[in-house]
Amino acid sequence: MKERGMIFNGEMVRAILDGRKTQTRRPIKWKQTRFTEIGEREDGSKWPWSEDAEHACDFWHPCPFGAVGDRIWVRETWGVASHAFSDDGLMIDWVPDRPATAIHEMPFGNGYFSGHAIYAADGDFTWGDDDGYEDGRSCWKPSIHMPRAASRILLEITDVRVERLNSIHDVDAMREGIQNLTTCSHADFGIPGVVNAQHPVRAFQLLWESIYGADNWKANPWVWVIEFKRVEGGAA
């Protein structure tokens, strides 16, 4: 079993925490040559394949995100809260009032962090300057820089397959985190404040285009479809 980090944005982190997201689609990226294609395996499934002319052999490309049974730790926008200031300006330990992961001398950059890791997906947070008198500032760190020790969500891969992006159906669109926002007056699916449409697939399309662009959806690329479940090992 291997563990790998994977980036999720705030909306998708919330969908995972709510139990709504159990799939993710990621573009297939591999070094393509005239001997590279999506081939059909013995079980009929599609998979990236290449012929190595130099070594007179061919091979199936492994999914870079892992295989069934491997684990994914979620990388999300994060920060560290270690202290706060009392009303009279004294520095005191920060007491968590939101989801947080305790860390102690966690290596990061050129130093070490102690205190609590917190997450932008749970809402905004303002850090005060160390002198206690300046205006607060944002100290969120990009998800790409999240170390394993700060991750609060651990996933186990239950299935990996390859599909054309546009082949997604309504059920899988919902498993991607799309919500049913339908009211008595009209059908509505999407993510509040982000995208909404009358059908789940259309809502997923708009979500995809917000990340990868409309041209990517039109190109209908091959994608990895990774199914997963939450497991113990994260802090959330």
Lowest average pLDDT, out of 90-99, 195-204, 205-214, 216-225, goes to 90-99
DSSP letter (8 states) at residue 127:
B
Statement: residue 10 has pLDDT above 90:
yes
pTM: 0.86
What is the pLDDT averaged over residues 127-150? 76
Residues 6+ apart with CB under 8 A from 192: 179, 181
Statement: residue 17 has pLDDT above 80:
yes
Give the per-residue pLDDT at 140: 93
pLDDT tens column, 81-130? 887 666 776 677 787 889 999 998 898 878 888 899 999 999 998 876 65
Give the per-residue pLDDT at 150: 95
CB 99, CB 79: distance < 8 Å: no
Q: What's the pLDDT band for 2 if we cut at 50, 70, 90?
A: very high
CA dist list (Å): 49 to 24, 59, 67, 95, 216: 22, 6, 16, 52, 22
Lowest average pLDDT, out of 28-32, 69-73, 131-135, 222-226, goes to 131-135
Give the per-residue pLDDT at 73: 98
Q: How far is 156 from 111, CA to CA, in rounded Å?
A: 31
Statement: residue 131 has pLDDT above 60:
no
Give the per-residue pLDDT at 133: 44
Give the per-residue pLDDT at 39: 84
pLDDT tens column, 46-59? 888 887 666 566 77
Bigger pLDDT: 24 vs 183: 24
Phi-psi region of 209 (alpha: psi -120 to 50; beta: other; left: phi over 0): alpha
Percentage, residues of the chain above pLDDT 70: 85
What is the pLDDT averaged over residues 129-146? 72
Tokens of 26: 């990621």
Q: How far is 150 from 144, CA to CA, in rounded Å?
A: 12
CB 98, CB 121: distance < 8 Å: no
Q: What's the pLDDT band for 22 if we cut at 50, 70, 90?
A: very high
Statement: residue 12 has pLDDT above 50:
yes
Give the per-residue pLDDT at 143: 97
Report all structural domains of the chain as residue ranges with CATH numbers, in order of start: 3-29+64-73+153-231 (3.10.400.10), 77-147 (no CATH)
Cα separation of the two ends of the chain: 22
- The dihedral through the CA atoms of 9, 14, 15, 16 has a sign that is positive
